[in-house]
Structure 1
């Protein structure tokens, strides 16, 4: 990247200690196949990794999004994970992330390819005032993931993210199904009995890992707070700060498989502990990551066997 020296690099990618906006401006136009990121959310209290208020958030992020649209290839995608929140002082929900989505589409010209949701059962029951003290609201367990694209026809194939068929489907395939019409009016054809497609089409709720790398001590890790993964263990052993808001590997993995092919370029401008870069590396995609925190980037080296 002209004007920037990598903080570290691997066979497939480079991580930069830099202001994300300045780095994005240095990326050539029409050169990145996928941007997948989770920027700091708009919260009532300041986090150590930096965040702006809901009143400022939309205009703050649109500056980054303009550059993201510029650097995407025509068939590229922009995947944005963003959490919702309650309004300050009352048990009602903020619309800031939906306002951002509308601006991304209406003002910047992105297309909304699909809305997806990250199911994270490890989320804390907050705000405590409404959820655990007054007991008038329930715990949040999902976060929005907006899949946006430069054109209406981004590169994508759900064949790359098929899930294993369930026991019911396998039994149905073996038994066979007669032609019928459901009460909803859908025609069920006899050809429905074939399972030759290689797996079932996943839903728009991301809730389970797609590889063994997200299995720790025989247990599936759906959230982002594992205390036993190699990154966390090595951070503790070396006295380095663990990033407090980490991507679960299953999230970037799903979209990297769905939206890119081997050799494509994946970029995360708010890399944090660089889960995106590590997943892209394992899947044979080239990657670019940036963050403005040296301690977090230093610790992110532990995600790679060789830096």
Structure 2
């Protein structure tokens, strides 16, 4: 007979690369994991794991137990959330996913403040290169910058965030003037490649003149926004970057806002929630603290 503790134990084993990794997650010794796994297999009368020195794989029976362990864990989490909400208690484990740069600067400090306010909550903050709606089943809240994908998800806006065309004074001093969006086709353009977006198609919008679309030939590209910002600071070319990322550089004069009457499509800071996660008291409380930390919008205090 399986217990909830057995399922919780095997869920850790099933999602680990090795028994040693399982031991680290469970904070026990590898022999203890091996002994407990053997005992579980003996009680069930089936082999759950194929073991090797470098790899841990599930048998068909092991995959079945792991799937049911996930179902039971989800049901227990949902029940715990519902009971906690009825008591107005903020407790349980909060899973937050955020982009690397924004997560380090704006989310991590809020997590630290949040657990001080709610000591009954534990938190996992995962920083991802491209957090998106596909992670919603494993996260309570995904902090995302830009348009959210699936309309089946609950999305709440946390703060506005413009995207600005910027370059360093060094680059602008030696390059031909940028007087209109069409001039960009003759400049060195730096781009961030992410998701499946067509990064060679730049769109800028003017309040009176409407939208201008340019097909640019990227001079340098990377899948890391911090790298592209660094290239812009080094004078390598023009880049479209989030306002939150370059506000300090603009104030300090390290970067200059080019074509100030034109803006790229905004990339607001949003939270993507699953239907179940969106109802938990801890998720609601965390988003409230995060939204308060972004009001007034910190990157709007120093740049217009």
Fold shared by both chains (TM-score > 0.5): no
TM-score normalized with structure 1 length: 0.24
Larger radius of gyration: 2
Q: Kindly indicate which of the two structures has a greater share of residues assigned to strand.
A: 2
